[in-house]
Structure 1
């Protein structure tokens, strides 16, 4: 267990190739960067290929951004809402993602995409796999900010047992290797108020898309 100026950090392994880094992302500059990104490419509700609105609001930063619409799930270099490239990934974001990945046993991670999700109470993210990326050898780094949430994490098969893990502000989940295609999701967000994000939860998901 390691303590720094921001509080206590600890590592919680949740399976082969998967770990929660407790209190790893407590730098207040992260939320300032989120606000900057949203000022360029606003949060929006995307649609599934079937035309259903996704409950979580989304935006992106980095060379590529994850997009969902009637044409399918994919990565694009430009924001379809603005017609301009996605905002550049902040240096602090890149450093955080690389340090978290290395700490969890995945050195050399170079993310080129960061999906930024905004949850409000009553919204959830159903169980899914992150498999739209060309490079499945790279890990996923997921940063939790704001309201607490319950993270569901299973195995590579849809029917594998799923365990629940509480996530607090500043927690980072990293999974790769044998866990790279694990099914995962977020249970319905409960009502609450966080001193830094209000009645919302922000999630940053770093990926190597190409």
Structure 2
């Protein structure tokens, strides 16, 4: 395991070994069974290229009304609890007693991407955001505190964990593309990203 710093963003390469990745993946599958993946629309009416679901007190949601947190899955069911193996990652990296309110689960299929954005729908930016990569490699791009300017990129592999906190909390970031089918964790290919956030 190695730790990289890219524009104040912490990247913990190889944080989860293969056994730990499989353990987390099994927990994520339980969440998806209870709260199936869905494809939200952006406020502009265009479907997002990723499919998503959530665990915790809140789930992240988007439609023509805007980006926001919701207390229930679009089907009306409550979001399942954040699995303990996922909480363990938060605890190991942050050392905080405060637990995340939301674990956003994004699935990147072939051709999926995530444009540069800030995570700023939360009430208090003093809390970090912890992001876990599983499956196929994704090209992670890091920008600045404001839109525009030069960016830097790094490939995130399965088991890598990113922490956006402190000076990097509102850094623009995104995933330009994935190497679909290049990983071996997901039998049918694709990338799963788990994002842990304190909402209130």
* Fold shared, TM-score > 0.5 on shorter chain: yes
TM-aligned CA deviation for residue 21 of structure 1: 0.6
Quote the Cα distance in structure 1 between the aligned partners of 2:98 and 2:128.
7
Structure 2-normalised TM-score? 0.93
SS at match of 1:21: strand
TM-aligned CA deviation for residue 46 of structure 1: 0.4
Structure 1-normalised TM-score? 0.89
Quote the Cα distance in structure 1 between the aligned partners of 2:90 and 2:53.
17
Residue deviations 1:11-60, cap 9 Å, x none? 111123x2101111230210001110000111111011121100000000
Q: Is 1:71 matched with 2:60? A: no
Counterpart residue number, 2:164: 175
TM-aligned CA deviation for residue 110 of structure 1: 2.0
Count, aligned residues: 196
Residue deviations 1:187-207, cap 9 Å, x none? 122332432213110000011
Quote the Cα distance in structure 2 between the aligned partners of 1:91 and 1:189.
27
Counterpart contact for 1:101–1:109, Cα < 8 Å: no
Counterpart residue number, 2:13: 22
SS at match of 2:24: helix
Counterpart residue number, 1:98: 91
Counterpart residue number, 2:2: 10
Quote the Cα distance in structure 1 between the aligned partners of 2:69 and 2:112.
24
Q: Is 1:202 matched with 2:195? A: no
Could you list the runs of 5+ residues in structure 1 that have no partner in the other structure? 1-8
Counterpart contact for 1:46–1:68, Cα < 8 Å: yes
The answer to which structure has the higher strand fraction is 1
Runs of 4+ displaced beyond 4 Å: none
Q: Is 1:186 matched with 2:172? A: no
Quote the Cα distance in structure 2 between the aligned partners of 1:114 and 1:32.
15
TM-aligned CA deviation for residue 109 of structure 1: 4.7
- After superposition, the Cα gap between the structure-2 partners of 1:64 and 1:124, relative to the gap in structure 1 and judged at 3 Å, is same
Could you list the runs of 5+ residues in structure 2 that have no partner in the other structure? none
Superposed CA RMSD in Å reads 1.3
Counterpart contact for 1:25–1:143, Cα < 8 Å: no
**1:44-55 equivalent positions in 2, closer than 5 A:** 44-55=38-49
